[in-house]
Structure 1
């Protein structure tokens, strides 16, 4: 049905091109590890095929069969790790090491010097199982992204889908070959011809090409998302960066002009004293604790960002003045319960509030909140001042 030799040559060419493609991706998007794992898997696959070819009927078959089986297992585990890295999962070193040792052990116990198929059943089961796990994992990730992660682009979803299809195609192939091996034996027509080298090489060629493109596209998408996150997120506190938070406030007001929102400017009191007296690491911990305290009281449409230094801005959506003051006090209570600097009590924070309603321009409200914050700081800190109110609401 298929010419095995021609298809194996085609597979070799595709694998070589895939390795070059992966190396190019590694140079462009390092340190994303998916192309690294995929390229390593392709190289180890070539090594496995070479060991199979060198050892077949030769005096060193007793050595090449176990090593070839182990290399085949290592190759599929590299593919698994490539997929796992796209989902921010780490390799399971102990379990994977045990699987590789199992490949060596089953081949060695099967008298590989006489039987070139020693340990083959174990290898087929591992290949079928791991490719099934990869396909199911990628398909599940795709479904989850479609339902819950609208930020994942169409390219990213297509890459996950292609990866899943390639892995499941290989899983089905190895499941069929495993069944043929068990039911008819390795020398049977069902295993050697109907499901033999030609068909295997054809499916592997298509799967390698598809998966190479999928992993490259997915890794590029991850890089794009990471660069976007770095550009829009404050690295220390993980809240929005200055430009992004101001843009989000503008967009939020454009989308809900009839709601009354509150702009809250926050400034850590005597922050320089924390840095000078306890060190900059303590100051960083104080800022992180402050951001965490506020995040814990935000609603789904609220926004928080760092303007710079120890100054933050919060937009509370659809809230009146009393509600805004109550939310500030709640965040302050959360912060007060944390020791931010190695036993030092959490610092006090001054807050300035300005209400944002109707056609009020957000930048104007931010300016009014800044004036209120200045009044809170002038009063000694640790206070809440609302714009155009003469009496401050002291934090409890």
Structure 2
């Protein structure tokens, strides 16, 4: 017990902000139950909810650590319900061809050209042996307002396809999937993008209409040309067996590989959807995050333990699954940190290795230092203490 107490002291000293590790055994704060701040009530530069004697990061620091991968730098921020800054700025929308995988594990692929263009035109070839083309479309919004909505409008004769479709079998989306793909509502998101496939036999124009919480709106259009000579769409490339994904306990998906279909920037983290379903592998997983992320294969599935999964809370699930060291079930963290013996160190800490530094990246450590009460920081710290105590007991 004495040794564990010293380890706990050392963990706290590893954090530059001197974060206290008291009461880590209790449940994490229920930030979602608190009333969220809004851009109208928050400072344009820094969150105002921190204690007065604790300096808070300015906008440039928040941007550098959490939002430097957006096409346009934010102009303000407010503290969201999970305890981290939500970046705000000029709202931009775009609808274009869906030509990327949206996220490659390093940078998000918001299409800056589409956000800045008044309209777009794309030419797609017909699927070989058919009279139709499969058209990949990408709808995206940068800095949507809380409570804003968007809608993708398709003309008659253009059919929205299910994410269950393949190159050889296009499947129409049912009513529920249509609603999930074509209609979006935004809350505490700094950016979002959705990829979709439609089936068409003739030229058409599709629209993205964004309506702000105050009723104002803007729209963009894409003109699609169907050609016999252009290259056809390949819906899902052969991703092989190297990818790994974590998937909440439930029925086995009807496909083995697929494509990232949506991304959303929330609380400094890119949340992702794979074939229309929430997927738990993001930019701020641990060093043990799945290799090859985000090229997924459901042949390697992480079944979640009780308490890891909260229905309807994608952000919390992502943090809980990839933010908790005791919750890695893919055996990707091969080398557990060595906890030095402190028996010969009466003062403690001098022989203690940089545990948090070996487990968490610079952004996560920055979050723990500057936003210790956030959901993410509490999860990181509790997980590190759990690992240290578990290793010490061995």
Same fold (TM over 0.5): no
- More helix, by proportion: 1
TM-score category, normalised to shorter length: under 0.3
- Normalized against structure 2, the TM-score is what? 0.23
Tell me which structure has the larger Cα radius of gyration. 1
- Normalized against structure 1, the TM-score is what? 0.23
Q: Which has the higher contact order (CA 8 A, sep 6+)?
A: 2
